[in-house]
Chains A and B, each alone.
Chain A
Amino acid sequence: DTAVSQTPKYLVTQMGNDKSIKCEQNLGHDTMYWYKQDSKKFLKIMFSYNNKELIINETVPNRFSPKSPDKAHLNLHINSLELGDSAVYFCASSLRGFSYNEQFFGPGTRLTVL
């Protein structure tokens, strides 16, 4: 049973396209996150979200938007994709959105923009 799952695992697309990455967690957590890992393995928080609050990293372009249909899902929509968006995107979840709790990560989605 996969705790945090993401689809697709690989995504190759052209510049300018709009794409979505889906994330689901079955842990009953109430907070979910999106991270971007660049080619140098640097992992950076993009968003954290629970049913009360969306916290956005101010450096994330507004072409990126998280959408949560329910507590178990947090999808990432990206508009007008750019070459620099190529990276591995990780979804994660935790209990109560509190940094005292460990985060559980999905397997990642490798996005390649051509």
Chain B
Amino acid sequence: SQQGEEDPQALSIQEGENATMNCSYKTSINNLQWYRQNSGRGLVHLILIRSNEREKHSGRLRVTLDTSKKSSSLLITASRAADTASYFCATDARGGGSQGNLIFGKGTKLSVKP
């Protein structure tokens, strides 16, 4: 069953602006990961945040995790046209039947206009 759900489904901004995408999930997790998918390409791992972490940074990326609300956000600062892509959160349910496999949300399609 689907675990993560991104919000918004689509986001259009101007170059230089910040982009914030949210992810909500349903069950307890070990970690949450964010991936990017450029059109017609495979997914690329961006960042992983463990369940005992609240915030993590990587370059222009900032990820937060609120396990009490079962939600995460991905912030891309000073966006560039090259950031145009779909962004997915992925979770692994702690216990249950997922066997540690990642369960992906439906993604947020980000469009950054030059």
Residues of A within 8 A of B (CB): 4, 33, 35, 40-45, 48, 55, 57, 90, 92, 97-100, 102-108
Contact = CB atoms under 8 A, between A and B. Distances in A.
Interface in B30-54: 30-31, 33, 35, 37, 40-45, 48, 50
A83 B104 CA distance: 24
A43 B2 CA distance: 10
21 contacts: A33-B101, A35-B104, A41-B106, A41-B109, A42-B106, A43-B88, A43-B104, A98-B100, A99-B102, A100-B30, A100-B48, A100-B50, A102-B33, A102-B48, A103-B45, A103-B102, A105-B35, A105-B42, A105-B44, A107-B42, A108-B41
Nearest to A43: B104
Given A41-B86, A102-B33, A108 B100 contact: no
B68 interface: no
A88 B31 CA distance: 26
B88 A99 contact: no
B5 to A, nearest CB: 11
Contacts of A97: 100
Q: Which of B33, B41, B100, B109 gathers the greatest number of chain A CB atoms within 10 Å?
A: B100
Contacts of B42: 4, 90, 92, 105-108
Contacts of B33: 102
A107 B41 CA distance: 5
